[in-house]
């Protein structure tokens, strides 16, 4: 099906009709930005949560009904006719995919759902903006690439740093050799920013607003606890990969970008340190970690936990450059000549990244973070996590050889078993 192409070309206003799947912490933020920049028509929102507190901050009240209310309030404010457009709220994403009037989807569900929702959307003929980390496992990425390329669809990975003029400046400078030959890249990911219950935690009754079984979806069936789901899912390996995939999807994507390696990966990976909560805690991802990778071009990448949530530092034979959430610095001020001001308002990186997606839905050009780019940077995070998860058993010094073209560890069956995740039926 190539419906999006024809609708975009034929539509009198050339506006794209979208649906938002997952209207929690990031989904609501993206929806607000989408509406503020008036990037298209939001015809549908979908979330397995009708509406509740319990998200990242105590005052956040998110879910499908708050999202519908937000869209309709915006439609009312923009309406000139006095009959503002409606937005439908769905609990089941498949009902959104069945709508022929929807061209594109913004998918902002937890990581363990990314592949299933994305591939089903692509197969329904929709273009997709899917949040980072694009995948939940190395195996997921191959399926997503196939679905995009076979269906001739547009997919933008939500790696919005690709649309941040400051990140563009720094990564492109490193890539262009402005600091000489690149030797080392140091990336930082923030520490866990939430505390979960420790060993012996007790299950809670499932609240009536949440379809918990669908929230779990392809993940194992586990007793409900409020800290398992909304926002905090990123600290449990059944749904995500901790800060290594959360913030690591940004800073390690930038590392690949500055290296000029949009597609590909390292040749070896080693966990240098990893700390975990006591066994039986609900949060089981590493709380603090450090890993290193080596690339065929001789560059060494060190990724470690730090105070700054996202930071990427490029070191070369003639100097260094670094950028992150706390600012941009360099070994020599001349390297910063031409550094753009932070982009704000409707040109902030998240909005600009969605705008780039919408432009590409219309033009059928490649977006700034196509599926292969999202896959490659997620692979780096996943193979690091494989080593991190084995660290308590193996200790330091276990260097795994990675074959990026085969997407497999060489001669390491234990590590290779961690490249795919079991999927619970009927979502397998
Ligand atoms: N680009 C960024 O900087 C950025 C920032 C934050 C989060 N994210 C990404 O966004 C994604 C969501 O994170 P979050 O912080 O918004 O989590 P969240 O828990 O706050 O929101 C996720 C929402 O998805 C809903 N959901 C779960 N399964 C669903 C399903 N099958 N169908 C419909 N809705 C479903 C949940 O009920 C929840 O409301 C993650 O992949 C995360 O990495 C990206």
Q: By percentage, how much of the chain surpasses pLDDT 70? A: 97
What are the backbone angles phi and psi of residue 426, rounded to the nearest 5°?
A: -90, 25
- Spell out the residues 6+ positions from residue 231 whose beta carbon is closer than 8 angstroms to its own: 24, 25, 54, 55, 56, 194
Is pLDDT above 70 for 11? no
pLDDT digits (tens, 9 = 90+) for 219-255: 999 999 999 999 999 999 999 999 999 999 999 999 9
| Residue 197 within a domain | yes
Average pLDDT in the chain: 95
Q: Whose CA is nearest to atom 10 of ligand 1?
A: 108
Q: How far is the CA of 108 from the centre of ligand 1 (A)?
A: 5
Query: Are 270 and 412 within one domain?
Result: yes
For ligand 1, the distance from its centroid to the CA atom of residue 318, given in whole angstroms, is: 41
Compute, in angstroms, the gap from residue 50 CA to the centroid of ligand 1. 14
Distance 47 CA to ligand 1 centre (A): 10
Determine the pLDDT at residue 10: 40
Q: What pLDDT digit, counting tens, does each position of 291-301 carry?
A: 999 999 999 99
- Domain contains 122: yes
Question: Which atom, in ligand 1's list, is nearest to the CA of 63?
Answer: 39
The answer, yes or no, to whether residue 8 has pLDDT greater than 90, is no
Task: Convert 171-187 to b/e letters by CB count within 10 Å (16 or more is b).
Answer: bebbeeebbeebeebbb
Kindly give the distance from the C-alpha atom of residue 267 to the centroid of ligand 1, in angstroms, as a whole number. Answer: 32
Q: Which of 104, 127, 160 is the last residue of a domain?
A: 160
On whether both 155 and 295 belong to a single domain, the answer is: no
Residue ending a domain, choose from 160, 184, 217: 160
Q: Give, for ligand 1, the residue of 19, 97, 109 to mutate: max count of ligand atoms closer than 8 Å to Cβ.
A: 109
Ligand 1 atom at minimal distance to the Cα of residue 230? 19
For ligand 1, the distance from its centroid to the CA atom of residue 29, given in whole angstroms, is 11
Whether 63 and 197 share a structural domain:
no
Mutate to test the pocket of ligand 1, among 24, 211, 226 (most ligand atoms within 8 A of CB): 24
* Residue 174, helix vs strand vs coil: helix
Range of the domain at 149: 3-160
Average of per-residue pLDDT across 8-14 = 53
Cα of 347 to ligand 1 centre, how many Å? 22
Distance (Å) from CA 234 to ligand 1 centroid:
9
Residue 290, C-beta contacts closer than 8 angstroms, at least 6 positions apart? 271, 272, 273, 274, 302, 303, 304, 305
Distance CA 392, CA 27 (A): 35
Same domain, yes or no: 380 and 233 = yes
Query: What does DSSP assign to residue 427?
Result: -
* Residue 378 lies inside a defined structural domain of this protein: yes
Residue 389 lies in a domain: yes
Question: What is the H or E stretch that residue 295 is in?
Answer: none
CB contact at 8 A, 401 and 411: yes
CA distances from 389 to 81, 127, 233, 318, 418 (A): 58, 34, 17, 36, 9
- Tell me how far the alpha carbon of residue 329 lies from the centroid of ligand 1, in angstroms: 32
In a domain? residue 74? yes
193-222 tens-digit pLDDT? 999 999 999 999 999 999 999 999 999 999
Residue 6 has a pLDDT of: 39
Measured in Å, how far apart are the chain's first and last C-alpha atoms?
24
219 alpha carbon – ligand 1 mean position (Å) = 15
pLDDT band at residue 81, thresholds of 50, 70 and 90?
confident
pLDDT for res 12: 45
Is residue 65 within 8 Å of residue 51, measured between CB atoms? yes
Nearest residue (CA) to ligand 1, atom 39: 24
CA distances from residue 44 to 67, 85, 129, 186 in whole angstroms, order as listed: 9, 11, 15, 41
- Are 192 and 280 contained in the same domain? yes
pLDDT at 7: 42
82: pLDDT confidence band, cut at 50, 70 and 90?
confident
Find the angle CA(135)-CA(269)-CA(381) to the nearest 5 degrees: 20
Taking the C-alpha atoms of residue 89 and residue 383, their distance in angstroms, rounded to an integer, is: 37
Q: Hey, which of 19, 20, 23, 26 would you mutate to test ligand 1's pocket, going by the most ligand atoms within 8 Å of its Cβ?
A: 26
My answer on whether 152 and 246 are in the same domain is: no
| Probe residue for ligand 1, chosen from 65, 110, 194, 424 as the CB with the greatest number of ligand atoms within 8 Å | 110
148 and 276 together in one domain: no
pLDDT-derived band of residue 408, with 50, 70 and 90 as boundaries?
very high
- The order of strands in the sheet holding 408-409 is 327-330, 319-324, 310-316, 182-190, 300-306, 288-294, 268-275, 399-403, 408-409
Both 186 and 299 in one domain: the answer is yes
Residue 330, CA distances (Å) to 122, 305, 349 in order = 42, 21, 22
Q: pLDDT (tens digit, 9 = 90+) per residue, 36-78?
A: 999 999 999 999 999 999 999 999 999 999 999 999 999 999 9
The closest residue, in CA terms, to atom 33 on ligand 1 is 47
233 Cα to the center of ligand 1, angstroms: 9
| Position 427 confidence tier, pLDDT thresholds 50, 70, 90 | confident
The model's pLDDT over 177-194, given as tens digits with 9 standing for 90+, comes to 999 999 999 999 999 999
Element (H, E) at 338: none
Atom number, ligand 1, closest to the C-alpha of residue 233: 19
Kindly state whether residue 395 falls inside one of the protein's structural domains. yes
Residue 320 has pLDDT above 80, yes or no: yes
Q: Are both 260 and 130 inside the same structural domain?
A: no
For the chain, give the number of residues. 428
Residue 18 belongs to domain with CATH number = 3.40.50.720
pLDDT digits (tens, 9 = 90+) for 107-116: 999 999 999 9
Determine, yes or no, domain membership for 29.
yes
210 and 143 in a common domain:
no
DSSP H or E run through 19? strand 17-21
Quote the pLDDT of residue 13: 64
Q: What is the CATH number of the domain that holds 183?
A: 3.30.360.10
Instruction: State how many domains the chain has.
Output: 2
Q: Which residues line ligand 1 (CB under 6 A)?
A: 21-27, 46-49, 55, 62-63, 93, 108-111, 113, 131-132, 158, 160, 214-215, 217, 230-231, 233, 246
Please state, in angstroms and as integers, the Cα–Cα distance from residue 308 to each residue in 100, 190, 243, 323, following that order: 44, 6, 12, 10
Domain boundary among 105, 130, 160: 160
Q: Which atom of ligand 1 is nearest to the CA of 249?
A: 43
| pLDDT tens column, 327-357 | 999 999 999 999 999 999 999 999 999 999 9
Residues 261, 144, single domain; the answer is no
Beta strands in 60-181, from DSSP E residues, in sequence order: 88-90, 104-107, 127-130, 155-157
Q: Does 196 fall in a domain? A: yes
Q: Are residues 201 and 325 in the same domain?
A: yes
- The pLDDT score that the predictor gives to residue 206 is 98
């Amino acid at each position: 099906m190539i419906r999006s192409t024809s609708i975009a070309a034929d539509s009198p206003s050339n506006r794209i009709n979208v649906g938002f799947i997952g209207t929690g912490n990031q989904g609501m933020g993206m929806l607000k930005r989408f509406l503020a920049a008036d990037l298209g028509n939001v015809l549908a929102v979908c979330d397995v949560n009708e509406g509740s507190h319990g998200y990242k901050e105590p005052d956040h009240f998110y879910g499908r009904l708050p999202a519908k209310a937000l869209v309709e309030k915006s439609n009312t404010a923009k309406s000139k006719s006095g009959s503002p457009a409606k937005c439908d709220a769905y609990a089941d994403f498949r009902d959104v995919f069945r709508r022929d009037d929807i061209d594109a989807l913004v998918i902002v569900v937890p990581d363990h759902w990314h592949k299933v929702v994305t591939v089903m959307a692509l197969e329904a003929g929709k273009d997709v903006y899917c949040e980072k980390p694009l995948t939940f496992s190395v195996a997921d990425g191959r399926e997503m690439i196939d679905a995009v390329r076979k269906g001739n669809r547009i997919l933008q990975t939500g790696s919005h740093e690709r649309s941040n003029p400051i990140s563009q400046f720094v990564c492109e400078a490193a890539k262009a050799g402005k600091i000489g030959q690149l030797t080392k890249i140091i990336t930082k990911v923030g520490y866990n920013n939430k505390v979960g219950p420790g060993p012996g935690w007790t299950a809670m009754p499932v609240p009536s607003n949440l379809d918990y079984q669908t929230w779990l979806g392809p993940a194992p069936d586990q007793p409900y606890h409020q800290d398992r789901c909304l926002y905090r899912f990123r600290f449990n390996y059944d749904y995500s990969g901790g800060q290594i995939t959360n913030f690591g999807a940004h800073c390690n994507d930038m590392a690949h970008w500055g290296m000029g390696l949009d597609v590909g990966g390292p040749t070896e990976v080693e966990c240098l340190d990893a700390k975990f909560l006591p066994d039986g805690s609900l949060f089981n991802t590493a709380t603090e970690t450090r890993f290193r990778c080596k690339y065929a071009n001789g560059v060494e990448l060190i990724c470690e936990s730090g105070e700054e949530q996202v930071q990427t530092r490029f070191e070369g034979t003639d100097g260094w450059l670094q950028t992150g959430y706390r600012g941009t610095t360099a070994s020599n001020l001349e390297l910063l000549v031409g550094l753009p001001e932070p982009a704000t308002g409707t040109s902030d990186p998240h909005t600009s990244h969605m705008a780039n997606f919408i432009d590409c839905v219309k033009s059928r050009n490649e977006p700034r973070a196509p599926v292969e780019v999202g896959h490659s940077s997620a692979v780096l995070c996943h193979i690091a996590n494989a080593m991190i998860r084995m660290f308590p058993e193996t200790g330091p010094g276990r260097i795994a050889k990675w074959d990026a073209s085969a997407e497999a560890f060489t001669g390491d069956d234990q590590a290779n078993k961690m490249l795919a995740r079991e999927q619970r039926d009927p979502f397998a």
